[in-house]
Every structure is written in structure tokens, then in C-alpha cells.
A and B are shown apart, each in its own frame.
Chain A
Amino acid sequence: MAGIVLEHVRKCYGDHEAIRDLSLEIREREFFVILGESGAGKTTTLKIIAGVEPITSGTILLNGQPIQNLTPEERDCAMVFETYALYPHLSVYENIAFPLRVPGRRMPKDQIDQAVLRIARILGIDPFLDRRPAALSGGQRQRVALGRALVRQPAVFLMDEPLSHLDARLRNEMRTEIKTMRESFGSTIVYVTHDYSEALALGDRIAIMHRGHIEQVGTPSQVFRRPANRLVAESLGDPPMNFLAGTITLDQNRSVFTKGNWQIPLPSHPRLRGCVGKEVCLGLRPQHIRLERARPDTPFSLPANLFVQELLVDHAVASVAVGDRQFMALCEADQAYSIDEPLYLSWAPEHMYLFLKDSGETVLAEGD
């Protein structure tokens, strides 16, 4: 019904190339997330699909039909923006019903009634249908706005950072809300965000975008466990992955990661063979690092000094100096270290990542 295909799409604003040669296939009924920092081209991609922005070159297919020359109205896409004002003088019911009453798309009254009630129930706002927006909390208003967008049941739903201006608590609640709601909707959803946890929680597949270019497309577990490159690895995780630059050398015919006097053995993997002598970055996620006072009995370890330790509700975050780099490690809340205390980091070999320094390309990922 509504698969979207972008083929070699380019979008330029004057001299600036916002999207370069973008090819992408979004499957029918898929929840597709585009993740990236601000300026990555995510919103532009969404606007291109909606038809709000014309493309410079390339093809866009909706359900197999080229749509790049259609107007936004002809595309059957609904767009939810970051900011969406509700009509203050209309009740919640009227706000949600609004898109069903626009000229040319007018629905019979009992059908409107049905559609509004259905949406309101899914979003849990059916008790407030008579109220005005002013009498609602921030989260309730957010749901009304979502309801207004969803009521129309378009073939494609485009959502641009719908949660970004909410506080952390509400954002997490609404994330669960969207996930729940998603299960009762058949639309294809393209969702843009800079928040990696939204992307992992919601996406059937995620595209990680950087400077107008897609770095990787995959399921949440694929992009998290087996990132295509360092950029992808860095953009998923809080605190983010730690990196240490070094080279791959040979020691008695086995490849090792070498940084100054430190040597860490690497698993024998065919991809490593061509990499001897190359500059690389070792990558370790904060939750995979153990901190110990005594030198651990494993070659997968590095000496460090505690920079500072921060206690959080159910765990603690330790910043440690490893040579001239700063690493973050998660540890138990009841483990207290003092500033500048000498420590050892260690990790299980299967949790080691390795990236080429120049291209950022992944050499080793989790489980290799």
C-alpha cells in the first residue's frame, strides 16, 4: 500500500548540498527512523517525501508510482512537526476532528464521531474531549496534537522530532505511548529524531544520517551491535562509546592492538589480515568496562586513573583518564573510588570494537 523508495535523490540550497545522492527503501507499514545530529539532513529528507521541498534531482516512488512532481496534497502523507499549536478556542474533540472537516475531505458526522473517539481512546484522552487546550497538562496537549495528526489515517506518516521539546520524563512517557499506539495503526511511519533511545525503542529499522549522507540502515540491534563505522557506533549510547587510537601490529604471528607500551591481543579474524600496520581506534562501550583496583588477570585491560565518579539513581558513572584520553565506565552505585586513584579497566574480548582511523570503517564489532 505505501512503500517509499528514494533513488539518487539530491537536494541543494544554492551552493549547499543538503542531501547528496540519497537512496533508500522504506517498506510498507514500516516504522522507519532517521537518526542524526542537527544539520544532518533528516528534516530535509522528510520534507522531500512530503513534497514541501522540491528535489534537485532523483526519483521518489510511493507505492511504485513516481511522486516527485505531485503536490503535497496529492501525496497522502500527514506530517507532525516539532511544534504544533492547538486551536485554543476549540475543544479537544473539535481540535482532533478538524482535519476531517476541511473542504474537499468532509466526512459524515457519525464517521467523524467514530474516528475521533477511536483515536482519543488509544491515546487515553477520551475523558477530556470537552475541555479546551488551556485546561490540559503539557503531555495531554501533546497527545491531542498527535491525535489530530493520526485521525486522518494517511498512508504515510511523517514525524519530525515530535518529542524534542518535552522534558525528559514526558519524552520517555510519550515514547512508550507512540510505541503502543503504533501497534494499532497500519500506516507507514517515517520518524526523524536526534535521540538515539527514541530511535532504538521505536524503529523497525533505523537510518543513521550524517552531513546529508546515510551511514547505515539496519534494525536497532544491527546498528547498535554491529555498526558499519565509528560514526554510527558513536551516535548510539549514553554515555557514548569510548575510543583509543593505536596501531595494529604483529606479535608472534598474532595481531595485537598497540598503543605506546600497551598491547592488547586481537581475535583472529579474516578482516584483520589486511590491517597490519594500520592506524585504528579501539572502541569500548561504558557498560562493558569493569573497574578494579588490583591488576586483573586478563590481557584485555588498561591502566587508568579516576578523574571523577558520579553517583546516579541505580548506577554510577566513572570518568577515568587512560593515557591522554578520557573514558567513561558504568559501575555499581555502592563502589566508591577517590580522585586520581590508580585503577584498571578490563573487558570481555567479545565486547571489543575496532575501527580504521582514517575511514572510520568497522574492522571488529561485537561478537567477531
Chain B
Amino acid sequence: MAEIILDHVSKRYGRGYGPFAVKDLSLRIRDKEFMVFLGPSGCGKTSILRMIAGLEEITEGKLSFDDKPVNDLPPQARDIAMAFENYALYPTLAVRDNIAFPLKIRHWPQPRIDERVAWAAKAVQITDILHRRPFELSGGQQQRVSLARAIVREPQAFLFDEPLSHLDMKQRQGMRAEIKRLYSQLKKTMIYVTHDQNEAMALADRIAVMHRAELQQVGTPEEIVNDPANAFVAGFVGEPAMNFLDVEVRIEDGGTAWIAYAGCPLADLQGTLDSVCRQVLLTPLQVGIRPHRIEFSETRIRATDLAAEVGTYESLGERGVLTVRLQSQDLKILTPPDQTFRKAQPLWIHFPLEHLHFFSKETGKRLRLNSLNGRRTL
């Protein structure tokens, strides 16, 4: 299998008349790519995975592996492994036999089975527990065994449906690193569904962000963070979330332009704006800025600094989260830990122009401004 191609694929439950679970999705998943579907619950990501696996019928559109349509191909003919689909291990079987199970039922020859089991066990670092029974293992070890069982067969593609969601924080981090490393060794197509942005960021070659049955954007983790297609993507990725402000652009007779929030200048649009830019900027706008990009000081430094006051400050050990009140709205700012702020202490807030993202207030679409291009806006 080289590519998995979704061509205008839709899924509706209720015999094809219910609401859309997936709406008009077109996407090429490349050979050996780690593709993550990211979105809140109910966005359609699991339905996509199940359609690719063949567990769910496709209501409309075409699914092909390379140029071969597979809409009607049964799951077992697709050469795909649904990892963690059946997470439970067989309690009566030793770890070795649990891993060998998918090969035994396919009647592989014993020497070949031994070879594959040894390889899979080594890949997830459980060679020393092969003789044990599942109940003798820790939760993390059980997870590794089930991962070994999934990879032992070496199919063309692996599908993962929220494999880490029921692990605790520490185990989750360990398994995430394990999967990432395994991928670099296996070099097989991986399709992975999650609602956890950290998992998506950490694992993916590309992330497909879903919302309300529709694909919002597909891109590398850097693109999703630095160059979000719309306000949903920008707000969904990043913790604390991006801050959004309703603003307008004011252009004076002399040609100087600035961004105004509640009538006060928030940023100077230095230099010239081309005419297209001017047109775009005169529609209702929202600007977004990530919490680690906002600057603040106790004294006013620039004419565009906005007055705000301290709401709460949460010191979290490694970092701090400062919530300030700007006019009638709250902004979150990331700071170093162990700072001291007084309740209602006045602060001056600076929004560096190069870190501002512009969105259409009406459609939520990101507005890419040529004259503001070339700046890094993480």
C-alpha cells in the first residue's frame, strides 16, 4: 500500500439520512506517513478511522488504497491492523503466546512466528517478561504487550483509536515516546485518532484537525501552530488557548494605520499596507495571540500599550499563568513561576505585531496579509 486516498467521503448514520458524522472529506494519507486526526469528541475522527479499517460503511465518496477502490473490501482483506482495538490480553496465555496469537490463527510456520515474536518483543522492550502471565505485569507492561501484539504481523498500515486515553499521566508520556520511537523503526503508515493536542503535536508528521464533521486544516504540527487556517484551529491547539480580541483597523488621512481595541490603539501597522490588505482589514476582525507571546510591564512603554489589571495568578511549579482583565474581557499570559502580583494591580499589555493572527469575525477564516508576511508568529 502506498497511499490511502479519501475522495469526497461522507458518513451519515441513520441509514444514510442522519446528521453528517463526516462531511465531504478529501485527503491523501501518504505512504509511511504518521497522520493524526485531532478534534473534540463528536467531530467525526473515529468514524474516519473505522471507514478506513472497513468497520463502517461509507455513505458517499470513494476510499482507495493507491488507485484501487476499497469501499466494498472487507476488513480482513485490507492488510491493516487496528492497534488496541482489543486491548485485553488473554489471561491464561503467557506474554509470548499473547503476542504470537495473531500469527497462530493465520497458521504461520512456527520458526517464522518465533522470529517475529522475538522482533516485536525487542521493539517494545519486553524480552525479559515473555514467559510471564498478564496478571503478573504492571499496567504499562500490559500496554507494551498489546502494542507488540499489534505490530507482530507487520501489516501495511496501523490504526490507533485514542490508545492512551485510559492511562495515567506518567504512563501516557512513556507510551507516547514508545510509539514515536516504534514508528521511526517500523516506517509504516500510521493513522492515529486523538482529542489530545499534545499527543498530536508530539507524534504526527501531519495533523488533520476535525470539527463538526468537517476537515478544518491538514498540515505539519508547525503549520497547525504557526499558520492556523481559522480561529477554531488556532483556539483548539495550545494550552492555555490563544487569546482572541475583537478589533478594527483605523486608517488615518496621512495613511498611518493602526489596530484598535475598544477604541484604543493596540498595535501600529507600521510601514505601508497594500490596497488588498486595506480592503481585507476594513471588514470586522478578530486578532489572536498566544499566551506566551503577550508582553507586560508595570509602566507604560509604548503608545500602543493597553491598560489592564491583574485578576488571578497561578504559579504551577514550572511556569505561571496570569489572568488579566482588559476592558470587559480576560486574557491569559504565560509567565515564569513564583512571580508576585497584587489583585487588581495595573499592568500595561503589549501585543507584538509579529505574533498577531488575524481572523475574519464573520467566517473565522484566517486572513493572511502579504505586507505582514515573513514574520514568525508562533
A interface residue numbers (CB < 8 A to B): 167-169, 172, 175-176, 179-180, 183, 196-197, 200-202, 220-221, 224, 236-240, 285, 287, 307-308, 310-314, 317, 319, 326, 328, 330, 333, 339
Q: In the complex the two chains form, is A339's CB within 8 Å of B343's CB?
A: no
Cα–Cα distance between A330 and B40 once the two chains are bound (Å)? 27
By Cβ-Cβ distance, the 6 closest A-B pairs, closest first, are A310-B202, A201-B314, A308-B181, A319-B177, A179-B312, A308-B180
Q: In the complex the two chains form, is B314's CB within 8 Å of A287's CB?
A: no
Look across to chain B and name the residue whose beta carbon is closest to the beta carbon of A179. Answer: B312
Look across to chain A and name the residue whose beta carbon is closest to the beta carbon of B320. Answer: A201
Kindly list chain A residues whose C-beta atoms are within 8 Å of the C-beta of B198: 312
Look across to chain A and name the residue whose beta carbon is closest to the beta carbon of B185. Answer: A339
Cα–Cα distance between A313 and B180 once the two chains are bound (Å)? 17
Kindly list chain B residues whose C-beta atoms are within 8 Å of the C-beta of A221: 315, 338
Kindly list chain A residues whose C-beta atoms are within 8 Å of the C-beta of B321: 172, 176, 201
Q: Flag the segment in B56-64, B112-120, B233-241 that touches A.
A: B233-241
Q: How far is the CB of A283 from chain B (nearest CB, A)?
A: 14
Given contacts A169-B241, A176-B321, A240-B170, contact A310 B180 (CB under 8 A): yes
Q: In the complex the two chains form, is A339's CB within 8 Å of B181's CB?
A: yes
Kindly list chain B residues whose C-beta atoms are within 8 Å of the C-beta of A237: 317-318
| Chain B interface main SS type | mixed
Given contacts A180-B311, A339-B181, contact A168 B239 (CB under 8 A): yes
In this complex, the member of A197, A237, A287 whose beta carbon has the largest number of chain B beta carbons within 10 angstroms is A197
Kindly list chain A residues whose C-beta atoms are within 8 Å of the C-beta of B197: 313
B219-254 contacts to A (CB < 8 Å) = 221-222, 225, 237-241
Given contacts A180-B311, A201-B314, A307-B177, contact A172 B338 (CB under 8 A): no
Cα–Cα distance between A339 and B197 once the two chains are bound (Å)? 23
Given contacts A196-B317, A339-B181, contact A311 B195 (CB under 8 A): no
Q: In the complex the two chains form, is B290's CB within 8 Å of A314's CB?
A: yes
The answer to the question of B363 belonging to the interface, with a C-beta cut-off of 8 Å to chain A, is: no
Q: In the complex the two chains form, is A179's CB within 8 Å of B195's CB?
A: no
Cα–Cα distance between A330 and B202 once the two chains are bound (Å)? 13
Look across to chain A and name the residue whose beta carbon is closest to the beta carbon of B197. Answer: A313
Q: How far is the CB of B169 from chain A (nearest CB, A)?
A: 6
Interface size (B, Cβ < 8 Å)? 41
B116-159 contacts to A (CB < 8 Å) = none
Q: How far is the CB of A12 from chain B (nearest CB, A)?
A: 27
Q: In the complex the two chains form, is B318's CB within 8 Å of A287's CB?
A: yes
B177-204 contacts to A (CB < 8 Å) = 177, 180-181, 184, 195-198, 201-203
The answer to the question of B88 belonging to the interface, with a C-beta cut-off of 8 Å to chain A, is: no
Q: In the complex the two chains form, is A167's CB within 8 Å of B195's CB?
A: yes
In this complex, the member of A176, A221, A236, A330 whose beta carbon has the largest number of chain B beta carbons within 10 angstroms is A176
Q: How far is the CB of B149 from chain A (nearest CB, A)?
A: 22
Q: In the complex the two chains form, is A313's CB within 8 Å of B225's CB?
A: yes
Instruction: Name 18 interchain pairs, CB-CB below 8 A, sorted by A.
Output: A167-B40, A176-B321, A176-B332, A179-B314, A197-B316, A201-B314, A201-B315, A236-B317, A285-B318, A307-B181, A308-B184, A310-B201, A312-B201, A313-B197, A313-B201, A326-B174, A339-B181, A339-B184
Q: How far is the CB of B302 from chain A (nearest CB, A)?
A: 24
Look across to chain B and name the residue whose beta carbon is closest to the beta carbon of A234. Answer: B170
The answer to the question of B292 belonging to the interface, with a C-beta cut-off of 8 Å to chain A, is: yes
Cα–Cα distance between A308 and B175 once the two chains are bound (Å)? 12
Cα–Cα distance between A236 and B202 once the two chains are bound (Å)? 22
Kindly list chain A residues whose C-beta atoms are within 8 Å of the C-beta of B377: none
Cα–Cα distance between A201 and B334 once the two chains are bound (Å)? 13
Kindly list chain A residues whose C-beta atoms are within 8 Å of the C-beta of B222: 311
The answer to the question of B176 belonging to the interface, with a C-beta cut-off of 8 Å to chain A, is: yes
Q: How far is the CB of B207 from chain A (nearest CB, A)?
A: 11
Q: How far is the CB of A101 from chain B (nearest CB, A)?
A: 32
Q: In the complex the two chains form, is B317's CB within 8 Å of A200's CB?
A: yes
The answer to the question of B371 belonging to the interface, with a C-beta cut-off of 8 Å to chain A, is: no
Kindly list chain B residues whose C-beta atoms are within 8 Å of the C-beta of A200: 314-317
Given contacts A183-B343, A196-B317, A310-B177, contact A238 B169 (CB under 8 A): yes
Q: In the complex the two chains form, is B312's CB within 8 Å of A180's CB?
A: yes
Q: How far is the CB of A357 from chain B (nearest CB, A)?
A: 20
Kindly list chain A residues whose C-beta atoms are within 8 Å of the C-beta of B334: 314
Q: In the complex the two chains form, is B169's CB within 8 Å of A313's CB?
A: no
Q: Which of A169, A176, A285, A311 contacts B202 (CB 8 A)?
A: A311
Q: How far is the CB of A206 from chain B (nearest CB, A)?
A: 11
Cα–Cα distance between A307 and B184 once the two chains are bound (Å)? 11
Kindly list chain B residues whose C-beta atoms are within 8 Å of the C-beta of A317: 173, 202
In this complex, the member of B184, B202, B338 whose beta carbon has the largest number of chain A beta carbons within 10 angstroms is B202
Q: Which of A180, A201, A333 contacts B316 (CB 8 A)?
A: A201
B286-319 contacts to A (CB < 8 Å) = 290, 292, 311-312, 314-318
Q: In the complex the two chains form, is A314's CB within 8 Å of B292's CB?
A: yes
Q: How far is the CB of B196 from chain A (nearest CB, A)?
A: 8
Kindly list chain A residues whose C-beta atoms are within 8 Å of the C-beta of B196: 168
Q: In the complex the two chains form, is A311's CB within 8 Å of B241's CB?
A: no
Q: Which of B181, B202, B311, B317 contacts A224 (CB 8 A)?
A: B317
